[in-house]
Amino acid sequence: MAAQGNGMEKVAEIFEQAAEKFPKHKEQLLSDLGKDALQAVRRNIGSSIRDRNGRIRAGQHIALGEGRGYAAVRPIIQPGGGRNSIKPVTIFLDRGHLTRGHRDYVQGHYFYDRSVPQIKRAAERRAKELEEKLKDDLSGSV
């Protein structure tokens, strides 16, 4: 029975160490996914609109959830903003808008929506990387 006890202690120690490493792995995963998403959105903005000075592309940033539970790409909110600041302009370009006289509708470019398949592929790749890290953590190198 003593041998079994030592084996169980080793297994418990392996799981404990893996559990300690998991939050860091998760934070790194979300950070990497945020970078992948930002790159995909910026690439789709560049291929959708004439952003000669790069203002719209540069106006996107990664937003991480408070509890590090998610990563998202959003337009930067500028203090004192106004109609011509990055956020409303980005939304108008992405979703479309009425013209000033409200007679015509300008079709949106949907660069956020068009980024979803690229982000999903990146998430699958990053999930496999996390899986490998977790396997290494659980491999028993105590």
pLDDT in tens, 24-68: 888 899 999 999 999 999 999 999 888 888 999 999 999 988 877
The predicted model scores a pTM of 0.80
List the single range of 1-10, 48-57, 93-102 with lowest mean pLDDT: 1-10
Percent of the chain with pLDDT over 70: 94
Residue 54 domain flag: yes
Residue 107 domain flag: yes
Which is nearest to 36 in space by CA: 66, 76, 73, 86?
73
Residue 142 domain flag: no
Residue 96 domain flag: yes
Residue 88 domain flag: yes
Distance CA 58, CA 53 (A): 9
Q: Which residue has the tokens 């910026």?
A: 42
Looking at residues 109-113, what average pLDDT do you find? 95
If one counts the domains in the chain, the total is 1
State in Å, rounded, how far the first CA of the chain is from the last one. Answer: 21
Domain of 94 in residue numbering reads as 2-137
